[in-house]
Chain A
Amino acid sequence: MKKINIKINGQSISCDENKTIMQAAHDNGFELPNLCWHPDLSIKANCRVCVVEIAGRKGLHTSCSTKIEDGMEIITDSERVKRSRNLNIELIFAEHIERCPTCIWRFNCKLLDLADQYKIEITRFKDRKGKRKVYKFGNAVELDGTQCIDCRNCIEACGNLQKINYLGLKGKGVNQEVVPVNEKGGLPFIGEKAKKVDCIYCGQCAVHCPVGAAQEQTHWHLVEKGLRDKSKVIVAQFAPSIRVSLGEEFGLKHSKAMPGQIVTALKQLGFNYVFDVNFAADITTMAEAEELLERVKHGGALPMFTSCCPAWIKYIEFYRPDLIPNLTASRSPQIHSAGVIKTYWAEKMKINPKRIVVVSVMPCTAKKFEAGRAELKVNGNLPVDYVITTRELAWLIKKNKIDFVNLKPATADNPLGEGSGAAAIYGASGGVMESALRTAEYLLTTAQDSVCAGLKNKNKLKFCDSRIEFKDMRGQNGIKEAVVEMADKKLRIAAVNGIGNIAPILEKIKDYDYIEVMACPDGCIGGGGQPIPTTAEIRRKRLEALYKIDAKSEIRRAHENEEATAVLKWLEDKGKLKSQVLYTKYKKRK
């Protein structure tokens, strides 16, 4: 790439052309503040806090939107720049009602950081948004108008990124407000007829909001209350993807997997038992692989769609109920896990399931919605009682002054502790499918219908030299496709990476046998409940970390997880209970 020469604050710099001032400054150690800028989204340049002076040009210029040019002289710290930057931050601060004591953002709040860094007086203007509404989306996500700074990242994330278009702007000037489009006058486009739109709870608005105005509906306080109730057995279960992301909240590198520290932290918070959802992901994989082959062999509805992503389920139920028969009947890992805890484990431990409180720690906001689905009840109990996000867990750890980084790692409680490498990659787009294919291929080459049968005939495992890695399903492309041959079968498969990429696939579903859909970019590691910032680059590092866990695992196929297959065997003769724990139904939503 062509190099050009610029000056920043008098310092000569040679850098690649086609960069913005913000990028060039960042690459050379000049940090410029920003709020509305996010690498996942288009450049809007509306917060105006990244302004700089450019020699020979009138006015100030936003560094996020201005490209560098040869010979450009940029000044980032003149009095004029400081005046406008500070004033704009101050103006923005007066839009945001501080709720610091209970805000899970408190420890990494961008606004507080900016105020501190630039010595902003945050009380010169009176807060003006005290009477704004809080919009709740299901029990999962909320948009708090009293904290919104009008940067529009949420609208972009919901529209351009996810293509759901549930959020729009109402009014103009100081009366401008981000609202769900169903709200009168809140259409994203004027003149266009209102379409039937609903939130899928993916939380991408939240993970792209710089100030926590869009965020999860927090449940940490309920969990805190539960932890104090000594009559209950409080169980935590954590998702595959949070082990590689939680560390970021504590300043650690993105590639660091810390399941052991997570277990210790949860124990220190007061949880009686801690389980790893990776274990149940192996159960999900086996149930799903069996169902896929059943459908392929006996003419069931194809393509079969994965169902682990609750935002995708909401999408189907609301936008395409005609495709409900194509969803796998298998429950998702958190529900499998909790179902097993409240049956198999409860029986083993001789604990009344009603005494057990299961708290999921998920990278996801939609999991909160999933946990409340009545049809998931097992023996009349909802499997999961509370769901908190990665961010909520980080908040609890920080709030309780637990030194996460230096915790002594512990292993998750058994017998529901260990998961295979296939389970670890559930957090990656394409991972669920890859895991299911590993087991499906084993079943096909050993000519079996069920993993349980396989266990009876262990020596067969030996001559099964099936593939482990399905690399076509990996990576950050929006749509990943392949044709895989297994025994005498050819499977046409696709992974949809982010719900924004779903449209072209839905137009030609007949071309596929098996489709994985994850609503969030790059799968759960990019989930709506993950640490902020989450960017393509950060997601790439989290992905790498997950695949590293898989590569290093002793067992890499779900059906080789003996404890997990033991659970399936236990369920074999339980009749109704088996289907209650393993399978579910979906319903059309209006």
Chain B
Amino acid sequence: MTGLAMDILSKIKKANLVGRGGAGFPTAKKWSSVAKALEDKEAGEGKSYVVCNASEGEPGVMKDGYILEHYADRVIDGIKIAIDFLLAEKGYLFLNHSYYKKLNKTLTPFLKDSKIEIFIKPINAGYIGGEESAILNAIEGRRIEPRLKPPFPTAKGLWGYPTLINNVETFYNVSLAASGDYKNKRFYTITGDCPFEGVYELPDNLIIEKLLNQTKNYPKFPFFAVVGGSASGEALNSSQLKRQVSGAGSIAIYSLAKNNFKKAIKSWLDFFVNESCGQCTPCREGVYRLQEIFMKEKIDWPMFNSLLDNLSDTSICALGSSVATTMKSFIKNVHPRINEKN
């Protein structure tokens, strides 16, 4: 590793950057493992790639679009730093189709004379099109669905070469860390039944309750929140908000008056039945059967729960396991509250 590369890595480490796509994986660790995979390769095979994930297919998360709109220079700078760090062949900005339409003109000047190319996320890629190995498949022109891991993209990514995939916000933070401007902030998307929906840049250690108060979004009515992605996040009741936001930094507020139990679960199930890629049995068949069971007059709860456990235990990717997260947390945290209100 060159001195320059060591320098940026230590800056990332010092800033304690973590992936802002949702998984929160330590950024320095990811970068090092790509570098390590490159070193292990035989001479002449030292190709590598950098991918910026601007897919943003998770409902309730809008911060990547916001960052690209306002800080495109920083994001592109972050990608360039990564390309220089790995001496990568090329960088791809894997861009959500609607963001491309909106931001193409903003982005183009920054990409001039760079190794970065915009890859427009195919419209039919859907939710799963944001999963990092599904992105690799999309860029390679294959069917868009997650790959088996291991091997991880850090070791075998695009066309089998070590590939670094980070989220928009992560690259933004890398740029800040490199220039010494990183201030431990993150972007929060607040949506739902609240007056001031939007993206906010605030300290990364704020608890949910404070976030809602500071943005004047704390509801005056009975509610619950889904945190860290409206489809794959965790459902919390109003007494559970003294914790930090997890995942991709989103808070969605649901009024309990407007969102009954049936409506909430049905909307998640509908979403996952539509978005499951179809690759593995527990997800393809499981979410379909969950929906079938749930729409019956008499719900077979033991089977419903078995299917959820099976999803978190045996699905190929994190989408499958997250199906269970939302619904289980909802049933555990929110459902008893609904009954209390009645």
Using CB atoms and an 8 Å cutoff, list the residues of chain A in contact with chain B: 43-49, 51, 59-60, 62, 65, 80, 83-84, 87-88, 91-92, 94-95, 124-126, 128, 150, 169, 171-176, 188-192
Contact = CB atoms under 8 A, between A and B. Distances in A.
Nearest to A172: B278
Contact of B141 (A48, A125, A189): A189
A174 B141 contact: no
Contacts, number: 103
B69 interface: no
Q: Which 7 A-B pairs have the closest CB atoms?
A: A176-B278, A91-B285, A173-B276, A60-B313, A174-B288, A48-B314, A172-B278
Nearest to A85: B314
Contacts of B60: none
Given A91-B286, A191-B141, A46 B314 contact: no
B257 interface: no
Given A48-B280, A172-B277, A189-B143, A92 B310 contact: no
Overall SS of chain A's interface: loop
B289 interface: yes
B285 A174 contact: yes
B276 A84 contact: no
B121 to A, nearest CB: 12
Interface of B: 122, 124, 126, 141-145, 148, 273-282, 284-289, 292, 303, 306-307, 309-310, 312-316, 321
A125 B288 CA distance: 11
Contact of B316 (A45, A126, A174, A175): A45
A169 B285 CA distance: 16
Contact of B314 (A44, A88, A124, A190): A88
Nearest to A126: B292
Contacts of B124: 190
Contacts of B286: 91
B276 A174 contact: yes
B142 A46 contact: no
Contacts of A126: 292
Given A84-B314, A173-B275, A190-B122, A65 B284 contact: no
Nearest to A93: B285
A46 B282 CA distance: 9
Contact of A173 (B141, B273, B289, B313): B273
Contacts of A188: 143
Contact of B289 (A62, A125, A150, A172): A125
Nearest to B277: A172
B316 A59 contact: no
Contacts of B316: 45-46, 48
B281 A92 contact: yes
B284 A174 contact: yes
Contact of A88 (B143, B279, B282, B303): B282
A91 B278 contact: no
24 contacts: A44-B148, A46-B280, A47-B280, A47-B281, A48-B282, A51-B314, A80-B313, A84-B310, A87-B307, A88-B285, A91-B281, A91-B285, A91-B286, A124-B303, A125-B289, A125-B292, A128-B288, A169-B278, A172-B276, A173-B278, A174-B276, A188-B143, A189-B141, A191-B141
Overall SS of chain B's interface: helix
Contact of B284 (A124, A150, A191): A150
A62 B280 CA distance: 11
Nearest to A92: B281
A59 B321 contact: yes
Contacts of A84: 282, 309-310, 313-314
A174 B273 contact: yes
A46 B146 CA distance: 11
A59 B314 CA distance: 7
Nearest to A173: B276
A196 to B, nearest CB: 19
A190 B124 CA distance: 10
Contacts of A192: 141
Contacts of A49: 281
Contacts of A150: 278, 281, 284
B284 to A, nearest CB: 6
B310 A83 contact: yes
Contacts of B310: 83-84, 87-88
Contacts of B287: 173
B312 A59 contact: yes
A396 B34 CA distance: 58
Contacts of B141: 189-192
Contacts of B279: 46
A256 to B, nearest CB: 37
Contacts of B277: 172-173
A65 B273 contact: no
A44 B279 CA distance: 9
Contacts of A48: 280-282, 314-316
A190 B121 CA distance: 12
Contacts of B145: 172
Contact of B306 (A60, A87, A92, A175): A87
Contacts of B275: 173
A44 B309 CA distance: 22
B285 A92 contact: yes
A124 to B, nearest CB: 8
Contacts of A189: 141-143
Contacts of A83: 306, 309-310
| Most chain A beta-carbon neighbours within 10 Å: one of B279, B285, B321 | B285
Contacts of B321: 59
Given A173-B275, A174-B276, A45 B306 contact: no
Given A45-B148, A46-B279, A189-B142, 15 more contacts: A83-B306, A84-B314, A88-B282, A91-B285, A92-B281, A150-B284, A171-B278, A172-B276, A172-B278, A173-B273, A173-B276, A173-B287, A189-B141, A190-B141, A190-B143
Nearest to B321: A59
Contacts of B282: 48, 84, 87-88, 91
A77 to B, nearest CB: 15
A88 B278 contact: no
Nearest to A175: B278
Contacts of B284: 150, 173-174, 176
B281 A46 contact: yes
A212 B336 CA distance: 48
| Most chain B beta-carbon neighbours within 10 Å: one of A60, A84, A88, A173 | A173
Contacts of A125: 289, 292
A113 B126 CA distance: 38
Nearest to B291: A174
A62 B150 CA distance: 12
A78 to B, nearest CB: 11
A190 B287 CA distance: 25
Contacts of A65: 148
A150 B316 CA distance: 15
A47 B284 CA distance: 10
B7 to A, nearest CB: 35
Nearest to B280: A46
Nearest to A45: B148
Contacts of B278: 150, 169, 171-176
Contacts of A176: 278, 284
B26 to A, nearest CB: 18
Nearest to A87: B310
A46 B281 CA distance: 6
| Most chain B beta-carbon neighbours within 10 Å: one of A43, A65, A171, A174 | A174
A55 to B, nearest CB: 15
Contacts of B315: 48
B285 A43 contact: no
A173 B273 CA distance: 7
A48 B285 CA distance: 12
Nearest to B309: A83
A434 B237 CA distance: 77
A550 to B, nearest CB: 43
Contacts of A51: 313-314
A49 B145 CA distance: 20
Nearest to A65: B148
B306 A173 contact: no
